[in-house]
Amino acid sequence: MAWRKVARRSEVPAGQGIKVEVDGHPVAIWHTAAGEIYATDDTCTHARASLTEGGLEGNVCVCPRHGARFDVRTGAVRALPAVVPLRTYPVRVDGDDIWIDY
Ligand code: FES
């Protein structure tokens, strides 16, 4: 694991997420309406949809394909059909720069 600068906070609208690539791996950077930044895998653990193409409701992202929900703070599943949690990454925000420990 190593800290990587992956995005700028100003690029991620509050209440949404953006997809970034880290070593070719899709990672979701989430900016909650409360102003917190979190990082998870972007790929749904159910059938591999891109989670950043769905919505963010509070701290929960909603898969656009079949509606599974995950807590972006912990990766925990909040609604079926997914059963496997999302991988999460430690986040550090330094000014406008978002770093993740990947
Ligand atoms: S691909 Fe996400 S719920 Fe099925």
Give the model confidence (pLDDT) of 4-32 as tens digits: 999 999 999 999 999 999 999 999 999 99
**Within 10 Å of residue 69's Cβ, how many Cβ atoms?**
19
Q: Which atom of ligand 1 is nearest to the CA of 67?
A: 3
Q: What is the mean pLDDT of residues 56-85?
A: 98
Closest residue by CA, ligand 1 atom 1: 47
Indicate the pTM of the whole model. Answer: 0.97
Given a cut of 90, is residue 1 above it in pLDDT?
no
Q: Which atom of ligand 1 is nearest to the CA of 47?
A: 1
Q: Please report the beta strands in the chain, taking only residues with DSSP state E, as ranges in sequence order.
A: 3-8, 16-22, 25-31, 37-41, 55-57, 60-62, 69-71, 77-79, 88-89, 91-94, 97-101
Which residue ranges have their beta carbon within 6 Å of ligand 1? 44, 46-47, 49, 63, 65-68, 81-82
Q: What is the mean pLDDT of residues 49-56?
A: 97
Domains, the chain, ranges and CATH?
3-101 (2.102.10.10)
Confidence at residue 32, expressed as pLDDT on a 0 to 100 scale: 97
